[in-house]
Amino acid sequence: MRLAFLIGALAVAGMPAAGAQEMHRMSMGAADSIRMPAGRTSITVPFRRSGEHILIPVGVNGNAPVWVVLDTGMPGPGVLFYDGPAVSALALEYMPVQAQVGGAGGSGESIQARIAAGATLRIGEAEIWNAMVTVLPPVAFLSAIHNGIIGAGVFKNFVVAIDHDRGEITLTLPERYRPPNHAATVPMILDGRVAYVDAGLVSAAGKVSPLRLIVDLGASHPVSLNATTDPAIQIPRDALTTRIGRGMSGEVRGRVGRIPGLELGGIRLTNVIATFPNPDHENPRGLDSRNGNLGSGVLGRFNITFDYPHQKIHLVRNQRFAAPFEWDMSGLVLEPGPGDTLSVAQVVPGSPAALAGVAGGDRIVAIGGHAVTNRDLPDTRECLRKDGAEVELRTVRDGVQRTGKLRLRRMI
């Protein structure tokens, strides 16, 4: 399972012409500027992990930092927040503007957002001035897990090095960055603020077919492939039909299976989990997804540097590189429920969860004897990926609590 953070362009309505021109200038990335401490060319800050997602601390206008997802798939300027107590405390001054923000999945309908301009964003000791802040109403299945997303506002201004082994991110002034000598370098293709890389799809016979993929650090899957775009992309016969993600506009459905291999920068990964969205979800909101997108399930296996100014990605294998690729082994499709609950959206037929009598609509209140809430969703997913493990599950249905056990099984 994954959460998709593919954010569409802002559509601005109900604004005077002069204001609309300023919004357009900012959305093209020309309005902000950066500042480093005197004499410094780089700064390093720790990050947190939430499942496959990377969360970094972002301060706004001198306020305490808010933890947000760092996402190459977020092409919007500045930072995007979900409204709530942490965002209300920022006391932002909003423009007289209505903005529409959309994403993958579902009907593709947009969500109305408020805009605050001229903000100062702070990441560690680095600052981005005159930035845009977009604030959405709470989005239940996203804002329950994190406070927002930042992307192009960071990547276009700095060279961004993510060291998974140390749990640190380093931001460097582009003109002062020098890549490590032992890194593999992958050219990056920028189309506006959307980044693509060329990769290779490895067949069972060892043939390598070219792929062009969106770089999507905010997607937790290893790779998503659009089967309609190239005959070389074959959906495995034993692929599981399920919900493969959740975008801002609703669920993303498709199939999930294993491909023999994937090559990136001359490095081959084998027996890779891949998702295959249904054709109507391949290009959300008209975005050209080419052959698919490359998620953090692959990108997170490298200490990785994104150098947007020079259109390159540098890769060094990290401690997770050789770990096997895995998918859910319970058959539970989970999502945040009402309040702080964790809900079962659906159950895969014939799965361990189905055999244990769990049904869609059940609420999960404890796993292994430990209480869980919707904020535990990323960790819950991880604990359901251990082949052969027995997991005690406490659920509530129609007000009645029930305890059962699942024997996890690799289904993909």
- Please write the tens of the pLDDT for every residue from 134-181: 999 887 667 767 889 999 999 999 999 999 999 999 999 999 999 988
CA neighbor of 71 nearest in space, from 214, 184, 179: 214
Task: Give ∠ CA 67-71-74 in degrees, rounded to 5.
Answer: 110
Give the whole-angstrom CA distance, residue 201 versus residue 235. 12
Domains of the chain: 11-174 (2.40.70.10), 186-296 (2.40.70.10), 332-407 (2.30.42.10)
CA neighbor of 126 nearest in space, from 55, 65, 194: 65
- Please write the tens of the pLDDT for every residue from 199-242: 999 999 999 999 999 999 999 999 999 999 999 999 999 999 99
**Other CB atoms within 10 A of residue 270 CB:** 13
Complete DSSP assignment for 300-347: TTEEEEEETTTTEEEEEE-TTTTSPP---SS-EEEEE-STT-EEEEEE
Q: One digit per residue, pLDDT tens: the chain, 412 residues?
A: 233 333 433 433 433 333 433 433 444 344 468 999 999 999 999 999 988 899 999 999 999 999 999 999 888 789 999 998 889 999 999 998 768 776 655 555 678 899 999 999 999 999 999 999 999 988 766 776 788 999 999 999 999 999 999 999 999 999 999 998 899 999 999 998 789 999 999 999 999 999 999 999 999 999 999 999 999 999 999 999 998 887 665 688 899 999 999 999 999 999 999 999 999 888 775 677 899 999 999 999 999 999 999 999 999 999 999 999 999 999 999 988 877 889 999 999 999 999 999 999 999 999 999 999 888 888 888 899 999 999 999 999 999 999 999 999 999 9
CA neighbor of 216 nearest in space, from 207, 206, 226: 226
Q: In a 3-state reduction of DSSP, which class is residue 221?
A: coil
**Whole-prediction pTM value?**
0.89
Q: Which residue has the tokens 């007289």?
A: 96
Residue 105: burial class (beta carbons within 10 Å; 0-12, 13-18, 19+): buried
Residue 319: burial class (beta carbons within 10 Å; 0-12, 13-18, 19+): exposed
